[in-house]
Structure 1
Amino acid sequence: MSDIKKVVLAYSGGLDTSVILKWLQDTYQCEVVTFTADIGQGEEVEPARQKAVALGIKPENIFIDDLREEFVRDFVFPMFRANTIYEGEYLLGTSIARPLIAKRQIEIARQVGADAVSHGATGKGNDQVRFELGYYALQPNIHVIAPWREWDLLSREKLLAYAETHGIDISKRKSGASPYSMDANLLHISYEGLALENPAAEPEEDMWLWSNSPENAPDAAEYVELEYSKGDIVAINGVAMSPAQVLTKLNQLGGKHGIGRLDIVENRYVGMKSRGCYETPGGTIMLKAHRAIESITLDREVAHLKDELMPKYAKLIYTGYWWSPERHMLQTMIDESQQTVNGWVRVKLYKGNVIVVGRESKTDSLFDPNIATFDEDGGAYNHADAAGFIRLNALRMRIAANAKLKRG
């Protein structure tokens, strides 16, 4: 332990990481550098600075970074180009944030000459894997300190007692906030623990913080037009926006109309099943709209190949392999497929539903109305060609059927 001179801690200012900060000082007798990331969690991050100072951290050792644009531009958007969902439903809101936090931690460690990094993920969850795979991929010889795998403070009561003993100020939860274990960023907010540990129990309505219930959503539908360039949304209703602005606006629209609630039991990488609830209003709109613009701009076999590879890509993100060579390889293929994904999609938002009502690409559409029409097409398509096509595709089945008839 005496070999550790300086450690960069992923620090939120909450109970867990405040206790970890003090524990690192006492256990490792090292200098602690705090890093707080603003990735759109919707809460002020500056209070973390005062809390760090109160625990003896030098001002020059406190890093608070606004990473919202980088998060959406370099992580969320690339993931959505693949129409990524895990186990058929989960839009990976927590998973996709971890590689960015790990990246910035390693950058700070290099900047300040730290020989270790630390995080507050528990030994039961996926996040410990996601953080640490990122650390090692970017700085192979970094030392990682995971307090939850070392200490005996394995309950909230013990953490609170430690905080009281060491004079750590833990601000009370804001009035009206959810009591669940939560994680939030610009893509989603998650809820775990308490009554949710019973998968048969319906979540209480007041748990949800970002969205109206579909029952209480507006009675009038709202139309939204999304403009795409190379697979990414660049404008909403004709107004050009940055990536973070796009997701912020779609979150507001989706939440208003009761879109993006999810209640699932997922398979964690460490082996257990876990029940979680998620609100991903903007991401839910993005997924539906992106598939719509791809439907007219992607070749059939390219689209089908993307769909076949997507579960593998999703699993890589869920399990923490964002920085792996195989994810990079898949991303290169996915990004290449998006060169023609340009145009606009119109969706109707109504009581929890995202309904595609129009899509167009003036430059890259593969939809030919002269061929697709049910009216006379002027010879653009020869119906007689289908007979040979069908007979050739049926050949192997005809051969097998004849063999079965001979066997009696």
Structure 2
Amino acid sequence: MNKVVLAYSGGLDTSAIVPWLKEHYDCDVVAFVADVGQGAEELAGVEEKAKASGASECYVVDLKEEFARAYIYPTLKTGAVYEGTYLLGTAMARPIIAKAQVEIARKVGADALAHGCTGKGNDQVRFESCYAALAPDLTVIAPWREWQLDSRESLLNYLAERDIPCSASATKIYSRDANAWHISHEGGELEDPWNEPSAQVWTLTNSPEQAPDEPEYLSVTLEKGEITAVNGASLSPLGCLETLNQLAAKHGVGRVDIVENRLVGMKSRGCYETPGGTVMMAALQAIDELVLDKASRSWKSQLSEQFAQLLYDGRWFTPLKQSVLAAAEALAEKATGEVVLKLYKGQATAVKKRSPYSLYSEDFATFGADEVYNQQHAEGFIRLFSLPSRIAALQQQGGGDG
């Protein structure tokens, strides 16, 4: 290899990967850092860290707005939730990171890509599936599948032997991944599903017990399945998300603790915090309840499950993703309106909803007197609806003679 572009985070793993690549492949290493909203603290000094580790260059690319607009919002329209609980924050960020990494590789004339994913996780599949779709001509290097370094201690020793500075320590408990949509937590006591997460696991949201004792109400405006305003203030997709993150985190909204099925076959336990995303999902579901008929809602539930699976599996750059998104766009055509949500002690509840395309009619649904519905018509409907059961019962009573 002549030049390798490494997806670099500044953490322990990628700090060790830079010198390892140079030693084992005798190549120039270019570090690529994706700013997907993980926060200024995590990005502070990352260029200096990369170069101190041996990288010739370090590109920090701001992807936050594109991430919200072109990845989060389309996923929201599908209603995708993995295994009924996980809002796919880590999986959602991987395709945009991989795409930007490939673009840097083309820019600097690299002939290889590298990542710091372990051989046990989902991310190795996600990154490499995206590389395959976008840059099949580039070689992929996955150090965790090649080197003999197998613990935090061995990585720290490797760096110390080369006088490469690293702020990591051997006492780190949790593995975390943050972006504008969420933060995930794994490791430590979470590796035993019988252990309740301790207070130090959670970093983004208040616990419900510590949340305000008074509920907070907020208004969300939607246009064609996209959140466009919060409390009447028009904002970009990223602006809406950041505002809702701040409001919902205060009330402990968006915490989940799950054992999920990884793509590579094993189960893993993770705790996720997705405050703003939880509010957005609740708002979209509330509008769907108004504007989608029964058959359309059933179809969307199938799309949601399909999209959750393909996103979790790293199949963003595929015809299947394009197909499912096209269907979701069609269903979102009338997902316009306003939702008022109540934030209280870990819950985001839609308490008011309205849409110019609402199929709900009080004239028909009322328990009071009405002039639009003849209840006697129900008798014929029920008789036809239950006709298969009636025929089967008659057949049974007649001894199967028909």
The TM-score range, normalised by the shorter chain, is over 0.9
Contact 1:46–1:64 (Cα < 8 Å) also in 2 = no
**So what's the TM-score if we normalise by structure 1?**
0.95
The structure 2 residue matched to 1:375, chosen from 359, 365, 368, is: 368
Q: Find the residue that maps to 2:200 and give its secondary structure.
A: helix
The structure 2 residue matched to 1:97, chosen from 90, 93, 97, is: 93
Deviations 1:126-151 (A, max 9, x none): 00000000111111222110000011
Contact 2:18–2:54 (Cα < 8 Å) also in 1 = no
Structure 1 residue aligned with 2:332: 338
CA distance, structure 1, for counterparts of residue 259 and residue 44 of structure 2: 34
The structure 1 residue matched to 2:198, chosen from 194, 198, 204, is: 204
CA distance, structure 1, for counterparts of residue 42 and residue 270 of structure 2: 25
Deviations 1:284-304 (A, max 9, x none): 111111100111122321111
Q: 2:381 is aligned with what amino acid?
A: F
CA RMSD of the aligned region, Å?
1.5
CA distance, structure 1, for counterparts of residue 18 and residue 314 of structure 2: 25
The structure 1 residue matched to 2:209, chosen from 184, 208, 215, is: 215
Report 1:78-93 matches (<5 A): 78-93=74-89
Q: Find the residue that maps to 2:20 and give its secondary structure.
A: helix
CA distance, structure 1, for counterparts of residue 337 and residue 392 of structure 2: 46
Deviations 1:201-226 (A, max 9, x none): 01111221111110110001000000
Contact 2:89–2:183 (Cα < 8 Å) also in 1 = yes
Contact 2:303–2:328 (Cα < 8 Å) also in 1 = no
1:54 matches 2:52: yes
Report 1:167-246 matches (<5 A): 167-172=163-168, 179-246=173-240
CA distance, structure 1, for counterparts of residue 195 and residue 86 of structure 2: 19
Unmatched tracts of structure 2, length 5 or more: none
1:394 matches 2:389: no
CA distance, structure 2, for counterparts of residue 85 and residue 367 of structure 1: 26
Structure 2 residue aligned with 1:154: 150
Contact 2:11–2:168 (Cα < 8 Å) also in 1 = no
How far the C-alpha of 1:44 sits from its partner, in A, is 4.1
Contact 1:178–1:209 (Cα < 8 Å) also in 2 = no
How far the C-alpha of 1:369 sits from its partner, in A, is 2.1
Contact 2:205–2:250 (Cα < 8 Å) also in 1 = yes
Structure 1 residue aligned with 2:162: 166
1:282 matches 2:276: yes
CA distance, structure 2, for counterparts of residue 376 and residue 167 of structure 1: 83
Deviations 1:183-211 (A, max 9, x none): 11111111111211111001111221111
What count of residue pairs does the alignment treat as equivalent?
398
Structure 2 residue aligned with 1:14: 11
CA distance, structure 1, for counterparts of residue 10 and residue 206 of structure 2: 29
Unmatched tracts of structure 1, length 5 or more: none
How far the C-alpha of 1:322 sits from its partner, in A, is 1.3
The structure 2 residue matched to 1:319, chosen from 305, 313, 334, is: 313
**So what's the TM-score if we normalise by structure 2?**
0.96
CA distance, structure 1, for counterparts of residue 190 and residue 176 of structure 2: 12
Deviations 1:20-65 (A, max 9, x none): 011111111111111101111123424111112223433xx32101
How far the C-alpha of 1:324 sits from its partner, in A, is 1.6
Deviations 1:108-142 (A, max 9, x none): 11111111111000000000000000111111222
1:348 matches 2:345: no
How far the C-alpha of 1:178 sits from its partner, in A, is 7.6
* Residues 21/96 of structure 1: CA separation in 2 closer, same or farther (3 Å cut): same
Contact 2:29–2:54 (Cα < 8 Å) also in 1 = no
Q: 1:50 is aligned with what amino acid?
A: E
* Residues 18/178 of structure 1: CA separation in 2 closer, same or farther (3 Å cut): closer
Q: Which runs of 4+ in 1 moved over 4 A?
A: none
Q: Find the residue that maps to 2:386 and give its secondary structure.
A: helix
CA distance, structure 2, for counterparts of residue 361 and residue 321 of structure 1: 34
Identical columns (%) = 51
